[in-house]
Amino acid sequence: MVPHKQPSSCATCGLPVSSPGGPCTECTAITQHAGEAGWRPRETERRPLAPGDVLEGKWRLEEPLGAGGMGQVFRARDLALERSVAIKLLHEALCEDPESMARFEREARAMARLEHPHITPIHAVGQERGRPFIVMKHLEGMSLARYLRSVPGPLPIPEVLALARQLCAGLDFIHQRGCVHRDIKPGNIFLSPGGHATLLDFGILWEHRGEEATRSGSRLGTPSYMAPEQARGEPVDGRADLFSLGLVLLEMLTGLPPASTCRLLGEGPREAAQALRERAPWLSLSLIAVLVRATAMNPEQRHAGALALLAALEDPEGVPPASATTPPPAPAPGGRGKPMRPLALALLGVASVGALVLGGLALHASDEAPAVPVPAEPGTSVSAVTAPASAPSAPAPEAPALPERSPVAAPAPVPAVRDSRPSASNSSRHARAQTSRAPSPVGGESRSRASKGRGEVRVVTVHQGRTVWAHVRVDGEHHGATPVSLELPEGRHSVRVERVGFASEERPIEVLPGTKAVVRIELHE
């Protein structure tokens, strides 16, 4: 290999540098080799890169994961440390465009400086055959955009709040350092199998430095999630990200695409709140008010910061009544009910490493629980055990790693709650209770016992002694995620649980009328 030329000093801060072609240890700017103009490639160097190629003798490209507007992402192998990494290469066609080169360099600097649990870590930068690249931590999971397409229906409120805590923490960290992401959208939010959220794609991140903070901003970003002032090219601050996050939260909670939400918001706060209440009656007026404020057309009317938005979301006034914490069931086949957007952190194909790549990054595998787990439901006594020996009964397990979600949900079998402001524990319990049949009307009566000719079955999945979530199907029909309580007709049924990374398990059960039973299924990798 031809040794690198050693630059004498960083072109940005002027201090001596010791890692040619890498970030300056002082200001994190990408240093350049002597005699070269930044990352601008020489014509003779520019050749296609493909799986099998080794970058700078250190990283072997293995397979493409996808591509975004700025670059292409590969799963790669770190030959020295023997680990998987993700490598983002600037598109070949952009290597002669100074603005694109500057954006790519800015993204690398930003990622190097913004070290946070909800921001993808960067390992190194480099250049191969005239194409600059960023080496990042290899993560597994899927984008929120794909997650929302996986199973029909809005997400349960506890799950959305768990994600909001993480996203607000990440955005607050970014904003406190004088930066604005400017492209918050489901495609730039990555979820691990355990529900850990990571912010992606810092290619158009805006850093407020001196007079730059007062200059008009560009119109870079995703139009459907863009704050009005950003779309007009006006100066932006962290409140532009809050507007985008507000649209994402509304999409998760209502199933409405951002274009529909923006049309409602354009009618004014009062009209928007009323329209959202009509379209999503499972949301409380106080929670809707928080979201309408987050997406106010005037940035001065939004929350002051990400933590202020989070505090408003977690305020007791923002918790919906216990009788309306879950969305209504999806319309039956052939019905004409309102279409629901996808839901369920199915992490279906957990698309090994991040088959995301809209933001050009890949994800991290983990099974940790959300920041604040949903309280466990009180144990249910087992009055009858009808499952075979392969699926023994057991007391209700502790809270799962992820709050379950299902497009069909109903209030739990507890006394009816008529107070408009129930306790948080009741709200959480109702949000977590799910059934395979039509729910009680919002604010209606609760079930005190199984219906005639039907029995109640609670399906729980565990792995190595710990409760974990899994998708459950009964007689081939999807019924959300475990742990879940189902009211089934008497007779024989087949219960199947599935989760990426584990072998599917199937159990025959027999439901006796008027009884309750728990089916506990062990998952195996």
One domain, residues 384 and 502: yes
And the tokens for 118? 């909800």
Residue 34 lies in a domain: no
Whether residues 197 and 319 fall in one domain: yes
Q: Would you state the pLDDT for residue 235? A: 86
Range from 110-114, 298-302, 379-383, 509-513 carrying the lowest mean pLDDT: 379-383
Residue 15 pLDDT class (50, 70, 90 cuts):
low
Averaged pLDDT, 25-38 = 46
440, pLDDT greater than 50: no
Residue 197 banded pLDDT, cuts 50, 70, 90: very high
- Shared domain for 97 and 227, answered yes or no, is no
Q: In this structure, what CATH number is given to the domain that contains residue 189?
A: 1.10.510.10
Residues 161 and 132 in one domain: no
Same domain as 255, residue 150: yes
Residue type, 96: E
Side-chain-facing half-sphere of 448: CA atoms under 13 Å: 3
pLDDT at 207: 64
Contacts of 43-52 with C-beta under 8 Å, sequence gap 24+, read 43/130, 45/129, 45/130, 46/92, 46/95, 46/129, 46/130, 46/131, 47/129, 47/130, 48/92, 49/89, 49/128, 49/129, 49/131
CATH number at residue 79: 3.30.200.20
**Which range of residues forms the domain containing residue 65?**
48-137
Q: Report, as residue numbers or ranges, the catalytic residues.
A: 183
pLDDT, average across residues 251-264:
88
Q: How much is the pLDDT for 209?
A: 52
Q: What is the pTM of this model?
A: 0.56
Provide the CATH number for the domain around residue 423. 2.60.40
Q: How far apart are the first and last CA of the chain?
A: 43
Confidence band of 246 (pLDDT split at 50, 70, 90): very high
Mean pLDDT computed over 426-445: 35
- Using 50, 70 and 90 to split pLDDT, how confident is the model at 19? low
> How would residue 451 be classed by pLDDT, with cut points 50, 70 and 90?
low
- Pair 97, 242 in one domain: no
Same domain, 267 and 382: no
Does the CA dihedral 362-368-373-374 come out positive or negative? positive
pLDDT at site 311: 92
Confidence of residue 240 (pLDDT cuts 50, 70, 90): very high
Mean pLDDT of all residues in the chain? Answer: 71
Q: How far, in Å, CA of 148 to CA of 154, rounded?
A: 8
State the binding site for ATP.
88
Q: Examine the domain organization and report whether 67 and 215 are in the same domain.
A: no
pLDDT at 171: 93
Q: Is residue 9 part of a domain?
A: no
Are residue 68 and residue 126 in the same domain, yes or no? Answer: yes
Taking residues 163-182, what's their average pLDDT? Answer: 91
pLDDT the model gives residue 286: 92
Q: Tell whether 418 and 521 lie within a shared domain.
A: yes
Angle subtended at Cα 428 by Cα 462 and Cα 490, rounded to the nearest 5 degrees: 60
* Last-in-domain residue among 117, 137, 157: 137
In this structure, what DSSP letter does residue 30 have? B
Total domains in the chain come to: 3
Q: Is 141 left (phi over 0), alpha (psi -120 to 50) or beta?
A: left
Q: Residue 5 falls within a domain, yes or no?
A: no
Mean pLDDT of 308-335: 57
Task: Give the CA distances from residue 446 to residues 386, 416, 455, 498, in Å, rounded to whole numbers and listed in that order.
Answer: 25, 5, 16, 30
Predicted confidence (pLDDT) at residue 330 exceeds the cutoff of 70:
no
Looking at the domain assignment, is residue 365 inside a domain?
A: no
Domain end among 94, 121, 137: 137
The verdict on residue 237 lying in a domain is: yes
Q: Could you say which of 137, 153, 169 is where a domain stops?
A: 137
pLDDT of residue 68: 73
Structure-block tokens of residue 229: 């002032």
Q: Cα(205)–Cα(110) distance, rounded to whole angstroms?
A: 8
Q: If you average pLDDT over each of 14-28, 33-47, 72-86, 457-471, which comes out highest?
A: 72-86
| pLDDT at 257 (0 to 100) | 86
Determine, yes or no, domain membership for 277: yes
Question: What are the tens digits of pLDDT across the range 33-92?
Answer: 433 444 444 444 556 888 999 999 999 999 998 777 778 899 999 999 999 999 999 888
Q: Confirm whether 387 is domain-assigned.
A: yes
- Strand 131-137 to 122-128 pairing: antiparallel
Q: Band the pLDDT of 424: cuts 50, 70, 90.
A: very low
